[in-house]
Structure 1
Amino acid sequence: MKAPTRWDAVCTVDDLVPESGIAVWTEDGPVAVFYLPHRLPALFAISHHDPISGANVLARGITGDLKGEPVVASPLYKQHFSLRTGRCLEDESVQVKRYPVLLDGGRVRLEVPCEQRQTSAA
């Protein structure tokens, strides 16, 4: 069974920078949102946390294309992460979380897990 999710507005289309990423905060942690206007889809979202360096830096990476795969290169150690799958191209055992993303009017929305609250029986 899939955990419950919701679509949170995290920024506006005016906040986006073409061919680049921005960092946004979600209840699931920091997320990097990338806008590649010459691609379909044009929006991608992955974790902002680089698992190799341990720093929140992926939104500051350089976007590009490796053999047709849209990627971001980590600004610290230069590993490439697929914007479609989150997999590291240099080490397939490493992966970052990918988030479904959509444009809703002028808002960018991410599908993020809902916080599950436990209720106590009285």
Structure 2
Amino acid sequence: MTWQPICALEMLPPEYGVPALVQDRPVAVFRTHDDELYAVGNVDPFCGAGVISRGIVGDRGGEPTVASPMLKQVFSLRTGQCLDDPSARLPVYPVRRRPDGVVEVALP
């Protein structure tokens, strides 16, 4: 697994996402209010648009989530599972913060 640098942590404010292209795959990287990092696919499976990084970060019953800005379906940031329609899922990717503060994502 090869880690790809995405951005410095300070460029990713809490409750926001950033889009990235990692090995030709669109990825959305998020930082939650409790400083956790998550990386999921950036393409909304319901409409095919690369917009998940612009979604609303929140929480549903203790599960960190992002709501698509297009059709408002809510996805778990941990598993990628759509909480409104179990037939849909976003891919989930490993994400980490280096000691120097750079956020990285890896694809299998």
TM-score of Structure 1 vs Structure 2, range by shorter chain: over 0.9
Q: TM-score, normalised by structure 1?
A: 0.83
* 1:59-74 matches, cutoff 5 A: 59-74=53-68
Q: CA RMSD in A?
A: 1.2
Conserved 8 A contact 1:28-1:112: no
Q: 13, 16, 25: which is aligned to 1:20?
A: 16
Residues 1:76 and 2:40 are matched in the alignment: no
How far apart are residue 28 of structure 1 and its match? 4.0
Q: Which secondary structure does the structure 2 equivalent of 1:33 belong to?
A: strand
Q: Work out the number of aligned pairs and report it.
A: 107
Unaligned runs of 5+ in 2: none
Q: 42, 62, 81: which is aligned to 1:87?
A: 81
Greater radius of gyration (CA): 1
How far apart are residue 14 of structure 1 and its match? 2.3
Normalized per residue, the structure richer in strand is 2
Query: For the residues of structure 1 that align with 2:82 and 2:6, how far apart are their CA atoms?
Result: 25
How far apart are residue 25 of structure 1 and its match? 1.4
Q: 53, 58, 76: which is aligned to 2:52?
A: 58
Query: For the residues of structure 2 that align with 1:77 and 1:37, how far apart are their CA atoms?
Result: 24
After TM superposition, where is structure 1 displaced by more than 2 Å over at least 4 residues in a row?
A: none
Stretch deviating more after TM superposition (73-82 or 9-18): 9-18
Residue in structure 2 matched with residue 106 of structure 1 by the alignment: 101
Unaligned runs of 5+ in 1: 114-122
Residue in structure 1 matched with residue 29 of structure 2 by the alignment: 33
Query: For the residues of structure 2 that align with 1:78 and 1:37, how far apart are their CA atoms?
Result: 20
Q: Residue type of the partner of 1:97?
A: P
